[in-house]
Amino acid sequence: MIYECIGKKAAEPYYIEQMCLNIYTFEELLYFLKGNSCILDENIINEELFGFIRTQLGLENLYGQLRGLRRRNAGIADLTAAIFSYARYMSEEEIEDLKKIIEGNSDVRAFMRRKSRGDFFFQNKRYAASTEEYLRALGECDDNNVKSDIYHKLSVIYLRSYRFKDAADCLKKEWEITKDKETLKNYLILAKETLDKNEYLHELLLTDPDAPTLKAVDNVLLKAEEEAGQKVDKLSDIFEKDTLGFIRQSGELIGELKKAYRREFSGII
């Protein structure tokens, strides 16, 4: 289905502080509202948004509809429905379904709103912002399913930042909730690389992995070691023949090894 663009492109965007997001067009606004219906509230659907719709997008009629609804004390669901009805972006049935989701949001607990914001940042690779939201959500959360998902995503963030110890800690907490073998495998891989021998043996006693899991851990680390060894041998040959080439390619090798190390944890990323 093709939608006709409505209104002007804003010279000054509508800034959604909770998401650190700028909205420039009506279509961007519709996309955001539909994809984030679970976190819509007065901080997003408010007089400032109505003013943006009027002055920046040039949608005077829609502004009038929203102001009329506001004077009749319409809720967030009805205001959002009016925006979608104006755009003819969704069918009436879809709009009614969306309203039900939004109306149920009054009962959504704070940690779920934080997690939703964290998920938004995570999907857009804004890892510092997502980490902040996830950690705050964990401090308020009493739902183990939500906790395990947050720990998993935090482990991905930390792993991509080379914070292996923090990633390992999150994987362990995720495994303590889920008892998932793949999570345990990934945790033990990181634990073996970040803990000393006695600490690692202690973790083996605590987690009690089965033989296939231990074998999978050893296989991953052996493969990584072999690939690193092959690259280092190749670099030594270059050094004997071309010093400048060695300097250039040694930097490239370090970058490749970092990427390869992260790729080994394909079950996480």
SS (H, E, C) 199-259: HHHHHHHHHCCCHHHHHHHHHHHHHHHHHHHHHHHHHHHHHHHCHHHHHHHHHHHHHHHHH
One digit per residue, the tens of pLDDT, for the chain of length 269 reads 444 568 789 999 999 887 778 999 999 999 999 888 877 888 889 999 999 999 999 999 999 999 999 999 998 889 999 999 998 878 888 888 888 777 766 556 778 878 888 888 888 888 888 899 899 999 988 889 999 999 999 999 998 888 889 999 999 999 999 999 999 999 998 888 888 989 989 999 999 999 999 898 888 878 776 665 555 555 455 444 544 443 444 445 545 555 555 555 545 54
How confident is the model at residue 247, as a pLDDT? 41
How confident is the model at residue 5, as a pLDDT? 62
Q: Please check whether residue 45 is in contact with residue 79, taking contact to mean a CB–CB distance below 8 angstroms.
A: yes
Return the domain boundaries, the chain.
14-107, 143-263
Which residues on adjacent β-strands are paired with residue 15? Answer: 22
In the chain, DSSP assigns E strands to 14-16, 21-23
Q: How far apart are CA 153 and CA 158, in angstroms?
A: 9
How confident is the model at residue 154, as a pLDDT? 94
How confident is the model at residue 90, as a pLDDT? 82
Q: Which two tokens stand for residue 33?
A: 């509202």
Q: Which two tokens stand for residue 149?
A: 């998902």
pTM here is 0.63
